[in-house]
Amino acid sequence: MQATNILILILGLGAFAFFLGRGRSLALAKPLGGIRKLHSLPSYYGLHAALWCSLPSLLLLAMWVMFDDPLINSIVVESVAAEIAPTDAASYNLLLNKISNLADGILPRKGESAALIAAADHMEALRVISRWSLTALLLTLSGLGLLWGWSRISASFRARPVVEKVMQNILLACACLAIFTTVGIVFSVLFESIQFFRSVPIFDFVFGLEWSPQTAIREDQVGSSGSFGAVPLFVGTLLVSAVAMVVAVPIGLMSAIYLAEYASKSVRTYAKPALEILAGIPTVVYGFFAALTVAPFLRDLGASFGLSVSSESALAAGGVMGVMIIPFISSLADDVITAVPQSMRDGSLAMGATQSETVRRVIIPAALPGIVGGIMLAISRAIGETMIVVMAAGMAAKLTANPLESVTTVTVQIVTLLTGDQEFDSPKTLAAFALGLMLFTVTLLLNIFALHIVKKYREQYD
């Protein structure tokens, strides 16, 4: 790959600049009476030269890699002969792919029209120009940077503050990546969702009772008008999450209480990590377990009681999800329970309460905000959980509160709408982003609220 080679070249030049700068500072220091006559340590002069040599080139390289392909593509497509010129977005992409494959030699050139071959040659020529001009530019830039950094070295030059300032900015940029990620998420889902809400009114989406995202391929097709009412998905998601919580909250909470208040030290050291294994198992494994072991078991069990349990029941998916969440709740609850001051326990015990009464009447009420926060985080995790429901819950959007039936969830629909090849701006794919927006908003609110509660609670006893 061309970019990788250039990257290695730039880094090599940077290393070269480091030794050059360091050597020059040492040479300067010698007649003056050693490096203590320099303002900074010799390695800082080296770093200074290396930064000047490689940093501007790296930035240029990053910009170039980002923008040269789209630029070349648009130039080529602008200049193609009129008979193959694209008419809409779909044919534009098709044409571009074809030209690009011809230029790369992936498709054979035999039998293609002259106009296409000309376009492919054009693209190839532009790419060569781009590559060479990039290399030339980068080398010049690195060389100039090196010269500048090198020429500034003198005994009184303050190299360390300059280097540290640059480093500080690099560190700051890394920290800001978290903000860029959030902004990126918001923009990517928001932008596509707005496009979606142009074709489907937001009211119909949020309050519509029917979900069948199959849009008509032909104009006159029957029965696939495509309706995007998301209520069945919300209900399905809530149902699965509710089942998960019914499993996870009592078990997680009780095991946290037992581990924190009753268990001997040896039990604690073994049982706690053993429970936490559950948190480390990948969700796809839970999905497989739910779909192939738990669901058939529940179906057979239901049949023996005369109940009809769907083979993709919300119960199986939710139950297994609950098992996955147990360690999450138990470790969060454990944290808040151990944070309750010992004096409160002692006070209650001294009044003659039994240990369980202390737990129920004193510790749990004191730890309640933290526990509620933890449960909310767990709910947000259950709502966003994907693989288990994709593998073990169904595809059919049913409006039901019966956990024995199959339901579908928001995440399942996002996955089904977006996997496989389809046009990017059909309402079907855009609907996935609208669902993503809902999911993001709800989980974000839950998280912010829960983190706020937990933080407040922590401050209370700190």
Give residues 144-173 in contact with other proteins (rule: CB under 8 A): 160, 164, 167-168, 170-172
| Cβ closest to other proteins, residue 211 vs residue 440 | 440
Residue for token digits 């924190």? 260
The dihedral sign for the CA sequence 118, 121, 125, 131: positive
Alpha carbons 41 and 18: distance in angstroms, whole number: 13
Burial classification of residue 51, based on how many CB atoms lie within 10 Å of its CB (0-12 exposed, 13-18 middle, 19 or more buried):
buried
252 counts as binding other proteins under rule CB under 8 A: yes
Distance (Å, whole) CA 64 – CA 137: 11
Q: Minimum CB separation from other proteins for residue 282, in Å?
A: 3
Q: For other proteins, which stretch binds (CB under 8 A), given 53-61, 148-156, 307-315, 378-386?
A: 378-386
Residues in the chain: 462
Spatial contact of 309 and 243, defined as CB atoms under 8 Å apart: no
Identified binder of other proteins from the candidate list 35, 139, 278, 344, rule CB under 8 A = 278
Q: Which of 101, 140, 224, 356 binds other proteins (CB under 8 A)?
A: 356
- Check residue 427 for interaction with other proteins (CB under 8 A): no
Give yes or no for a contact between 389 and 319, defined as CB atoms under 8 angstroms apart: no
Q: Applying CB under 8 A, which of residues 105, 201, 250, 347 lies at the interface with other proteins?
A: 250
Closer residue to other proteins in complex, CB, 216/284: 284
Q: Which is nearer to other proteins, 262 or 461 (CB)?
A: 262
Within 13 Å, how many C-alpha atoms sit on residue 278's CB side?
18
**Site for other proteins contains 11 (CB under 8 A):** no
289: contact with other proteins by CB under 8 A: yes
In the complex with other proteins, the residue whose CB is nearer, 107 or 271, is: 271
Q: Does 354 help bind other proteins (rule: CB under 8 A)? A: yes
Count CB atoms within 10 A of the CB of residue 406. 23
Determine which residue in the list 151, 221, 355, 422 makes contact with other proteins, applying CB under 8 A.
355
187-246 binders of other proteins (CB under 8 A):
188-189, 191-192
Phi, psi of 212 (to 5 degrees): -150, 95
Under rule CB under 8 A, residue 59 binds other proteins: no
443 binds other proteins per the rule CB under 8 A? yes
| Minimum distance from residue 60 beta carbon to other proteins (Å) | 17
CB of 436 to other proteins, least distance (A): 5
Measured between alpha carbons, how far is 462 from 174 in angstroms, rounded to an integer? 31
How near is the Cβ of 341 to other proteins at its closest, in Å? 22
| By CB under 8 A, residue 125 contacts other proteins | no
Nearer to other proteins among residue 146 and residue 358 (C-beta): 358
Alpha carbons 363 and 15: distance in angstroms, whole number: 60
Give the one residue of 387, 393, 407, 453 binding other proteins; rule: CB under 8 A.
387
Please state, in angstroms and rounded to a whole number, the distance separating the CA atoms of residues 9 and 324: 48
Query: In angstroms, what CA-CA distances link 341 with 221, 260, 336, 362, 367?
Result: 68, 13, 10, 11, 10
State the DSSP code for 332.
H
Please tell me whether residue 288 binds other proteins under the rule CB under 8 A. yes
**Shortest distance, position 306 Cβ to other proteins, whole Å:** 26
Nearer to other proteins, 119 or 359 (CB): 359
Which DSSP string corresponds to 194-206? HHHHHHS-HHHHH
